[in-house]
Structure formats: structure tokens, C-alpha cells
């Protein structure tokens, strides 16, 4: 949404919030409910919604007076040579490779992401059946 909205000067950010609400009331002990009052999320929402906000396509945490930025990282993952033959079992059996963040990248744009992805898909290592892959 941030990429598509940019041409119209529309910004789109994500808030990862931790707050006591009706949805989370059973998760917070009574003594912490005021500390995690949803009103403490509001300043981040207001700032990210304002036209002077300098960023788009980012993620921020707001919780009990804490505010910080999250960063999108992408695991190296795994390419299956025959995507039409991939099964849920193949995904399950490859879970460690799919979620290994030791060689994570941080794409800064959709173009950056697509270039990396296309490079992986076109890798010389990409051969074999549904279980064969490059990582």
C-alpha cells in the first residue's frame, strides 16, 4: 500500500501495538491494565497519520509509553524448482530453511525485493523436482 500510495502522497505505516483492551483483557493482570492503556498508542497513531510524518512503508511498536521501529527482514528462504508441485509437506519439511534469518536481507523497496527474488529464482542452483531447490 505504501508503494502504490506514494504517487498520491499517501503514506501507509504499520503499528505493532501492545495494549490492554477487550480483546486482550484476559492476557493482562489487573495491575498492568492501566500501564498498557490504549491511550498510550494514540501519540504514535497521530504522528504517523500526520502529513509531516517523514516515512511510509515502515512498522512501529507502541506500548505503555515505549515507541520504537520494527524493521522488515526477509529470510534467504528456499526456491522450489517446480512451484506447481510444491506441497504443504514440502513447506513443512523445509521450514528451517524458510525461516532461517542468519542470511536475512532488508529490502528497502519493492524493486529491491523483486531484484533479489528474481535473482534467486534464476539462480544456477535452481534445478530438480519439487523437493529440489536453491536456498
List, for the chain, all residue ranges whose pLDDT scores fall below the cut of 70.
Answer: 124-135
Q: Write out pLDDT tens, residues 65-74.
A: 999 998 878 8
- pLDDT at residue 101, as a whole number: 94
Q: Which residues, in sequence order, are CB contacts of 6 under 8 Å at separation 6+?
A: 56
What are the extents of the domains in the chain? 2-70, 79-134
Contact 12, 5 (CB under 8 A): yes
Nearest 5°: CA angle at 42, between 15 and 37?
95
Has this prediction a pTM greater than 0.85? no
How far is it, in rounded angstroms, from Cα 108 to Cα 99? Answer: 20
Amino acid at each position: 500500500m505504501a508503494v502504490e500510495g506514494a504517487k498520491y502522497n499517501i503514506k501507509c505505516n504499520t503499528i505493532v501495538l501492545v495494549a490492554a483492551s477487550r480483546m486482550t483483557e484476559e492476557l493482562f493482570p489487573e495491575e498492568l491494565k492501566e500501564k498498557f492503556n490504549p491511550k498510550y498508542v494514540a501519540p504514535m497513531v497521530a504522528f504517523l497519520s500526520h502529513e509531516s510524518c517523514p516515512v511510509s512503508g515502515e512498522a512501529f511498536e507502541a506500548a505503555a509509553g515505549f515507541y520504537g521501529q520494527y524493521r522488515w527482514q526477509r529470510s534467504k528462504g528456499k526456491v522450489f524448482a517446480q512451484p506447481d508441485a510444491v506441497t504443504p509437506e514440502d513447506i513443512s519439511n523445509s521450514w528451517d530453511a524458510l525461516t532461517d534469518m542468519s542470511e536475512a536481507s532488508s529490502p528497502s523497496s519493492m524493486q529491491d525485493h523483486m531484484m533479489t527474488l528474481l535473482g534467486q529464482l534464476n539462480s544456477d542452483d535452481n534445478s530438480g523436482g519439487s523437493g529440489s531447490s536453491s536456498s
